[in-house]
Amino acid sequence: MSYFTRLTRTSFRRDSALVTVSHVSGDSADQPYQGSFRGKTHRFALRVYFEDTDTAGIVYYANYLRFMERARSDMLRAMGVDQRAALDSGEGVYAVAEAQIKYRRPAKLDDALLVVSRVREVRAASCVIHQRVMRGDEVLTDAIVTAAFLTPEGRPRRQPRHWVEKFERLIEEVE
């Protein structure tokens, strides 16, 4: 067990027998999956489940947008951007203002996918992110997403300066 892992044992009686249950907390298997950066590129792996598909086992087109949303949220978390604190404090939230997406090939039930995200541009109140959903080396979808920073009332607001600085360090030139 690692330093962060804790073993808990609970004993109780069931039908006159002593039952001891062991639980390991802090184990990485108990934590949500987190993507990671390789250089300036964020990578977020996922699996296609039955709920993601139609009756033919093909991923429903809108679910690619959900996959990319999860990857963008994970990318922000990995950058140190605390969206929840910004929301709770009334500072603002990100919302997709524009999405251009090209569907190239279908993903299927049980496919292992990778969402690759790269920051392309940072503006005062928005950022542009290039995202691809991949199966191995094969590009399934290719998208350019503009995420705007908005007040709780839905009006554009300048992003916090320290967030802009983090985004600027990740900008990649157009391929």
Q: pLDDT tens digits, residue range 91-134?
A: 999 999 999 999 999 999 999 999 999 999 999 999 999 999 99
Name all domains of the chain by residue range, CATH numbers in brackets.
Answer: 1-31 (no CATH), 33-168 (3.10.129.10)
Residue 15: pLDDT band by 50, 70, 90 thresholds? low
pTM of the complete model: 0.81
Tokens of 147: 């995420």
User: pLDDT tens for residues 26-38?
Assistant: 667 788 889 999 9
Asked if pLDDT for residue 13 goes beyond 60, the answer is no
Run of H or E residues at 143: strand 138-150
Q: Quick count: other Cβ atoms within 10 Å of Cβ 42?
A: 24
Higher pLDDT, 82 or 1: 82
Q: Tokens 């073993």 sit at which residue? A: 7
For residues 75 and 42, what is the distance between their CA atoms, to the nearest angstrom? 6
Q: For residue 84, what are the CA distances in angstroms to 30, 42, 80, 107, 161?
A: 21, 20, 11, 31, 17
Active-site annotation holder among 15, 27, 30, 54: 54
- The string over 86-104, giving b where at least 16 C-beta atoms fall within 10 Å of a residue's C-beta and e elsewhere, is beeeebbbbeeeeeeeeee
For residues 123 and 115, what is the distance between their CA atoms, to the nearest angstrom? 23
Measuring CA to CA, which residue among 172, 174, 155 is closest to residue 42? Answer: 172
Phi, psi at 53, each rounded to 5°: -115, 165
Q: For residue 143, what are the CA distances in angstroms to 104, 119, 135, 138?
A: 11, 12, 15, 14
For residues 159 and 69, what is the distance between their CA atoms, to the nearest angstrom? 19
- Annotation says 54 is catalytic: yes
Q: So what's the pLDDT on residue 14?
A: 52
Point out the least confidently predicted range of 12-16, 114-118, 127-131, 135-139: 12-16
